[in-house]
């Protein structure tokens, strides 16, 4: 548990962007220490971003300040993920099954 002291100039992005410290802000008890109400890590196929939340004020619009911390060199696709690797394996299995059927190794029921 390491609160980021934004009010003292600390950044949640560490180690050249390899580490994001986003804990310790949501709890009201930490607002005076951190100066904010926490972060949200946002990841999509285009970029990684951080949403910085201000302490909640009743009756006011409480939008996060969002900053992009890393832009992907190219858009990430499902094929770039573990799920994509599993899908490719299933496709290859189905192709082998189809070949076996066409060669008469597997007969129609």
pLDDT at residue 25, rounded to an integer:
63
* HEC sequence for the chain: CCCCCHHHCCCCEEHHHCEECCCCCCCHHHHHHHCCCCEEEEECCCEEEEEECCCCCCCCCCCCEEEEEEECCCCCCHHHCHHHHHHHHHHHHHHHHHHHHHCCCCCCC
The answer to whether the predicted template modeling score (pTM) of the entire model surpasses 0.75 is: no
pLDDT at residue 7, rounded to an integer:
73
pLDDT at residue 24, rounded to an integer:
56
> In the chain, where are the structural domains located?
1-72, 77-109
Which segments in the chain show pLDDT lower than 50?
A: none
């Amino acid at each position: 548990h390491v609160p980021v002291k934004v009010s003292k100039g600390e950044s949640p992005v560490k180690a050249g962007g390899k580490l994001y410290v986003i804990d310790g802000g949501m709890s009201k008890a930490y607002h005076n220490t951190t100066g904010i109400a926490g972060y949200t890590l946002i990841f999509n196929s285009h970029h990684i971003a951080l949403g910085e939340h201000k302490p909640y004020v009743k009756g006011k619009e409480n939008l996060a300040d969002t900053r992009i911390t890393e832009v992907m060199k190219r858009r990430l696709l499902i094929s770039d993920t573990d799920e994509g690797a599993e899908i490719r394996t299933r496709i290859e299995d189905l192709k082998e099954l189809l070949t076996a059927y066409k060669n008469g190794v597997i007969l129609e029921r």
